[in-house]
C-alpha cells in the first residue's frame, strides 16, 4: 500500500459515496486507475464494505448502552458470540481483555426496551453476568481520524 492508496482510503472513510472521478481528482489519477486501486484494496480485504451512517434516535432508538458480559466457566466463546449475533439490538460486539469477555453496544427505543434486552442477555446460555452503562449523550461517533503513515 502506498501513499495514494492511503489517500483513497482516507477519502472514502470521510465520504464513502465519493465518485471515482472525484477521488481521481483528489489523488491525481484517472477514474479507471482509481477503480483498479479500489478494487485491489477490496480484494485484499483492506476495504471491507460501505454503509450509511444513520441517526439512531431518528429511527426510534434513543437509548444507547454499553454492556459488559462475563461468561460462565468453561463456556465456548464462539458459541456465545453466535448467540449474541442473533440479538438484533446489539450494534457492535467486541471480545475484550479484562473482567468482562465481551463489550456490546446496544440501541434501544427506551429504558424498558433496554431492560428487556438485558434480561435476554442475562438468560443467554453461557452468560453469567452483565454490567450496563447507559450513554447520556454522544459527543462523537464513527470518528474518522488520519491514517498513520506506516499503514
Quick check: helix, strand or coil at residue 109?
Answer: coil
Task: Tell whether 36 and 77 lie within a shared domain.
Answer: no
Structural domains of the chain, count: 2
- Strand partners for 44: none
Residue 117 lies in a domain: yes
Phi then psi dihedrals of residue 96, to 5 deg: -130, 165
Domain extent, residue 119, equals 56-134
Does this model's pTM top 0.85? My answer is no
Answer yes or no: are the C-beta atoms of 5 and 41 closer than 8 Å: yes
Instruction: Give the tens place of pLDDT for each residue, 26-75.
Output: 999 999 999 999 999 999 999 999 988 889 999 999 999 999 999 998 89
CATH number, residue 97: 3.30.70.920
Instruction: Give the tens place of pLDDT for each residue, 84-129.
Output: 999 999 999 999 999 999 999 999 999 999 999 999 999 999 999 9
pLDDT at 150 exceeding the cut of 80: no
Short-list 98, 96, 118, CA closest to 106: 118
Amino acid at each position: 500500500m502506498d501513499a495514494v492508496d492511503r489517500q483513497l482510503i482516507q477519502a472514502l472513510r470521510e465520504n464513502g459515496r465519493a465518485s471515482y472521478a472525484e477521488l481521481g481528482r483528489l489523488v491525481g489519477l484517472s477514474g479507471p486507475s482509481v477503480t483498479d486501486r479500489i478494487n485491489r484494496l477490496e480484494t485484499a480485504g483492506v476495504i471491507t464494505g460501505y454503509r450509511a451512517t444513520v441517526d439512531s434516535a431518528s429511527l426510534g432508538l434513543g437509548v444507547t448502552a454499553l454492556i459488559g458480559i462475563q461468561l460462565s466457566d468453561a463456556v465456548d466463546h464462539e458459541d456465545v458470540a453466535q448467540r449474541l449475533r442473533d440479538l438484533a439490538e446489539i450494534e457492535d460486539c467486541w471480545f475484550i481483555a479484562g473482567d468482562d469477555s465481551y463489550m456490546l453496544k446496544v440501541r434501544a427505543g427506551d429504558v424498558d426496551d433496554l431492560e428487556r434486552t438485558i434480561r435476554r442477555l442475562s438468560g443467554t446460555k453461557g452468560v453469567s453476568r452483565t454490567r450496563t452503562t447507559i450513554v447520556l449523550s454522544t459527543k462523537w461517533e464513527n470518528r474518522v481520524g488520519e491514517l498513520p503513515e506506516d499503514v
